[in-house]
Structure formats: structure tokens, C-alpha cells
């Protein structure tokens, strides 16, 4: 899809620094990490639920 190289990453981080400031970036990173973790947890729960339903249907 999109290829992001090192120069693009530096540019994105630089723009984020200008917009949010250095004090706000750790908070934003923490919130982003927490959101990704929650998304992964819920996704795995959904996958586990559907697999459990399939196993229960196979046993009947």
C-alpha cells in the first residue's frame, strides 16, 4: 500500500512535534499504545468466541 521510508518518518515526527509539542507526545503515544492493545485483545476475544462456537457445533 504505502511505503514509508526513514525520511518520511522523520518528517511525520517533526510535524507532530511542532503541532503537539514535546510535552504532549508521550501522552499521545501512551494513548495510542493503549488503544492498539485494547483492539488486539477484543479482536482475539472475537476470534476465540467464533472458534469456540464452531467447536461446539462440531461436537453436536
Q: Is the pTM for the entire model greater than 0.75?
A: no
What whole-number distance in Å separates Cα of residue 55 and Cα of residue 10? Answer: 48
Helix, strand, coil % in the chain, rounded to nearest 5:
85, 0, 15
Domain ranges (residues) in the chain: 25-60
What whole-number distance in Å separates Cα of residue 32 and Cα of residue 59? Answer: 41
Each of the 60 residues of the chain gets a pLDDT tens digit; together they read: 678 899 998 998 899 889 988 888 889 889 999 999 999 999 888 887 766 666 666 665
> How far lies 31's CA from each of 8, 13, 22, in Å?
23, 16, 15
Amino acid at each position: 500500500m504505502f511505503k514509508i521510508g526513514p525520511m518520511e518518518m522523520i518528517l511525520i515526527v517533526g510535524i507532530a512535534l511542532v503541532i503537539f509539542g514535546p510535552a504532549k507526545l508521550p501522552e499521545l503515544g501512551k494513548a495510542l499504545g493503549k488503544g492498539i492493545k485494547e483492539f488486539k485483545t477484543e479482536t482475539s476475544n472475537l476470534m476465540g468466541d467464533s472458534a469456540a462456537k464452531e467447536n461446539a457445533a462440531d461436537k453436536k
